[in-house]
Structure 1
Amino acid sequence: MALLCKPGCGPATTTLSKEFMPRLSLGFKQQKFALAANPPRGFRNARLSVKAEASSNTSVVTQGISGNFAIAGINVDAGEGGLPRIKLHNKQKSECEIYLHGAVVTSWKSKGKELLHVRPDAVFDGVKPISGGIPHCFPQFGPGAIQQHGFARNVSWEVIGTSNEDDTPRVTLRLIDNEYTRGIWDYRFVVKYSVWLQGEELCTELNVKNVDEKPFSFTTALHTYFKADIGAVKVTGLNGLKCFDKDPVTKEPVEASEDRDEVTFTEFVDRVYKDAPSRLVLRNGLGDTLALENEGWNDAVLWNPFLTMKIFYRDFVCVENAKLDPVALQPRESWTAKLTISPTAE
């Protein structure tokens, strides 16, 4: 959508078809990598160890995190399409998974119940963005000077650290500029993204640093898809805010003011709320109430395509945390935003 602009420390073993080997890539349309011959930089820097053993019809692929990254509560295996993913879990029966491709959180379960949604048309090919979960929009949200929603969601990130203190498994991923990104957006940057489980909560922190010699500005968002029964969804905390509705026909935003205590979804919704509060509450229509609390994400976006995607629109709602006024960073300056999603009894 767019409007403005299991335990255990050892490696996991998965049996996959031989297609696994050539399909691991940086996500660049211009290049594919056969992993055995030329490992992508993101995998090498992440210290992912990969071993293939030939058999009659399959390759047995063993993947793990070497060295100090191999700690309890954090595993790596081959996910959909053979793409590497990281799994976190704790003793509170919370778990999540993050794909290195796009650094997208594709699953978050609390007490065994899935709360995020991955669209049935999602592609796990290492090239296109994964549609669903919590994708990144960086360095641009929506349409603009570069490609829709930027490039961070369709390139491979690297693992740079893990920890697990007090049953709080945490992984930090990093995206740095390279020839591909500079061909789209000619700046040097470092983006770090941490994901952790704290009790039943899913927590994230995004940090963008300017390591160039010239200033730059960006917009960004977490394009979060939640499982839902769209006819029963309610979002609270937005009453009284200025908002912009995207007209599904003209595609132009129309300024309005939110006068509802509970926002519902009975038609196409693509709406930006400026200067949103730090806490929103989502009732997903499936019996779950989730509190979204943030620091640094100044805006909110609600989206459901309704009949424009009539096959599966009923099953999800997007409640997105965004920064839509450009963040201007001078050399060596950085910007940070945090998000905590919590099951609540409200």
Structure 2
Amino acid sequence: MSIIQTIKNTHDDQKIVSKSVYQTTYQEHTILVITHPQCSAAISLQGAHLLYWQPKVSSLPIIWLSEKTLFKKGVAVRGGVPICWPWFGKVAEPAHGFARIVDWQLTSCSENEDGVDIILSLKDNEKTRQYWPHHFELELKLHLGKTCQLALSCQGDFNATGALHSYFGVSDISAISVSGLGDTYEERLTTINKPKTAGEMTFNQAVDRIYTQPEPISLIKDNDHTIKITHINHSDVVTWTPWDNAKNVVDLGEQSYHNFVCVETCRISKPIESSNKAKTSYGVKIEVIK
């Protein structure tokens, strides 16, 4: 049984949230499980982490989750859409910030025939102040239906970098392309993998690249469909695959790199300039085009 099926079948301490949503416990995480006529999905309250999303039109999850991920307190989940905040990368500890390893609160949940709308929130507390001495309020709005939409907003007197670090499920990474990336990028690996076409990536080795002038829309072209990714108020798009280095990552299967690619909506080169007076937000909309 796959990890997604296991989560779907978990009913420990079940609490009904709405007609299509229930809350359960899986290992050390509190999970919201969504089963709606338009899609199935799950969210961990640790990190406000969208674990997977599979719209009705797709035979496989579009948002991918590692079969070997760990559902331990304070350990980041591998796959889904991790929220990297208030910094991106290894500029401080923990890498990619603390938002993905602390518990958020369920603020609201509603639904209609189009899907489920969920709001999760995080405010500074004793735990977060161990990592970052700032007052802040974060809110993640999710719409899960035929489309998948995430909007992260923050409020407080600070600047921050971050990413919606989306893992997309693909048939075979060597057979796909990602377009709409723009011409300029920062290479984060020593290996050279120059695009054959400007603004477009195909994959035959490990890639870790920050595109600094991306188009508003990225397209992942797979065998029988295209994943359309609309970036909202972003400054950068990151593409990442570990390729065969996956064998050295404890929560990835050795061959798992064949079936996902990361295309991330980011604020890196232009950090979020937040204030106490108004919310600042960025986000992503994901659609499947047949």
TM category (shorter chain) comes to: 0.7 to 0.9
Question: Runs of 4 or more off by more than 3 Å in structure 1?
Answer: 12-15, 256-259
Asked whether the 8 Å contact 1:89–1:169 carries over to 2, the reply is: no
**2:150 is the alignment partner of 1:204:** yes
Question: 1: distance between equivalents of 2:272 and 2:125?
Answer: 21
Q: Structure 2 matches for 1:1-346, cutoff 5 A?
A: 61-65=12-16, 70-79=17-26, 81-92=27-38, 94-111=39-56, 112-198=59-145, 200-210=146-156, 215-228=157-170, 229-239=172-182, 241-248=183-190, 259-260=197-198, 262-285=200-223, 287-310=224-247, 311=254, 312-324=256-268, 325-345=270-290
- Work out which of the two has the higher radius of gyration on C-alpha atoms and give 1 or 2: 1
Question: 2: distance between equivalents of 1:14 and 1:120?
Answer: 16
Give the match's secondary structure for 2:127. Answer: helix
Q: Which runs of 5+ in 1 are unaligned?
A: 1-11, 16-60
Asked whether the 8 Å contact 2:87–2:96 carries over to 1, the reply is: yes
- CA distance 1:76–1:261, shift in 2 (3 Å): same
> Match of 1:159, as an amino acid?
L
> Match of 1:296, as an amino acid?
N
Q: Report the CA distance between 1:122 and its aligned residue.
A: 1.3
Q: Percent identity?
A: 27
Asked whether the 8 Å contact 2:164–2:283 carries over to 1, the reply is: no
Asked whether the 8 Å contact 2:154–2:274 carries over to 1, the reply is: no
Give the match's secondary structure for 2:273. Answer: strand
Give the match's secondary structure for 2:244. Answer: helix
TM-score (norm 1): 0.73
Cα deviation, 1:145-200, whole Å, max 9, x if unaligned, reads: 342100011111110101113433111111111112112110011101011124x1
Give the match's secondary structure for 2:267. Answer: strand
Question: 2: distance between equivalents of 1:166 and 1:314?
Answer: 34
Question: 2: distance between equivalents of 1:180 and 1:258?
Answer: 46
Cα deviation, 1:25-72, whole Å, max 9, x if unaligned, reads: xxxxxxxxxxxxxxxxxxxxxxxxxxxxxxxxxxxx43315xxxx322
Q: Report the CA distance between 1:14 and its aligned residue.
A: 5.1
- CA distance 1:117–1:179, shift in 2 (3 Å): same
> Match of 2:167, as an amino acid?
Y
Give the match's secondary structure for 1:156. Answer: coil
Q: Report the CA distance between 1:13 and its aligned residue.
A: 9.4
Question: 1: distance between equivalents of 2:201 and 2:10?
Answer: 44
Q: Across the two proteins, how many residue pairs are aligned to each other?
A: 271
RMSD: 2.3
Question: 1: distance between equivalents of 2:139 and 2:33?
Answer: 18
Q: Which runs of 5+ in 2 are unaligned?
A: 1-7, 248-253
Asked whether the 8 Å contact 1:242–1:258 carries over to 2, the reply is: no
Question: 2: distance between equivalents of 1:176 and 1:95?
Answer: 28
